[in-house]
Amino acid sequence: MKLNKSIIGMVHVGALPGTPKSDASISELIANALADTEILQEEGVDAIMIENMHDRPYLNREVGPEIVASMTAIACALRSVVKIPLGIQILAGANKAALAVALAARFDFIRSEGFVFGHLADEGMMNSDAGALLRYRKQIGADRVKIFTDIKKKHSSHAVSADVSIAETAKAAEFFLSDGVIVTGSSTGEKPSLEELKQVKSSVKIPVLIGSGIDAGNIHEYWNWADGFIIGSSLKKDGNWKNEVDRERVKHFMLTINQLSR
């Protein structure tokens, strides 16, 4: 933890069984995820989050048992060696599945999309699920698992809620008991609007995280306006989310964080 700010490193697990790009066994998927995780943990990130981003094209909310089982196997393998907090997201919007995996694998948080205000995503219409999701968390005894929620999420159209500002959306998420809100740019690797981030930060008391586009060159612009940073693409080889974690990139990024923390 850096002055109450968290650096969350992303591990994009390989394409899971049954998805179009799947070409690896569960053992290989685990080994690759462990390799990325080891680098992130050794270089000093505060938490790690896993995500099935290679499963494109994504399903809308409902994923098959093969996805839940595979993510659980990978998550349990990571939990056995990782001492820092762990989180999970299951695309797209499979928030109940993510909660179930987090409970089984003793993860600490999930990233949830579509929590408040429905939106049109690449996968189709995604209605808000805050009420159902928090009831499900209570039913399965997963109260200790934090739910961090995207607002005005990337890769989505928000025309239907255009008259609701991002600050009002954040307030709604807080009112609906979100454990923290996530602000993003328009797509993976795109940085968010600094003005929108400031609006959100001044509107809620829960943690505000940035979920896309942050790298060693721009984090200083956002440092004072966010409580946590989810870092993916910029820590990968060639800055591409599809590639493995690059230790030298992580070293450089964490050096920048240490300088900002002084």
Q: What is the pLDDT of residues 110-149, one digit of tens each?
A: 999 999 998 889 898 899 999 999 999 999 999 999 999 9
pLDDT value of residue 154: 59
pLDDT 10s digits, 219-243: 999 999 999 999 999 999 999 999 9
Alpha helices by DSSP H, the chain: 26-42, 65-79, 95-105, 130-139, 166-175, 194-201, 219-222, 247-260
Q: How far apart are CA 164 and CA 145, in angstroms?
A: 29
Superfamily, domain 6-260 = Aldolase class I (3.20.20.70)
- Looking at residue 162, what is its pLDDT? 83
**What span, in angstroms and rounded, lies between the C-alpha atoms of 83 and 95?**
24
DSSP state of 135: H
Q: Confidence band (pLDDT; 50, 70, 90) for 156? A: confident
Q: Which residue in 95, 89, 149, 157 sits closest to 123, CA to CA?
A: 157
The answer to whether residue 201 scores a pLDDT higher than 80 is yes
Residue type, 37: T
Helices (H), 110-193: 130-139, 166-175
State the Cα–Cα distance between residues 105 and 73, nearest whole angstrom. 8
What are the boundaries of each domain within the chain? 6-260
**pLDDT for 45:** 98
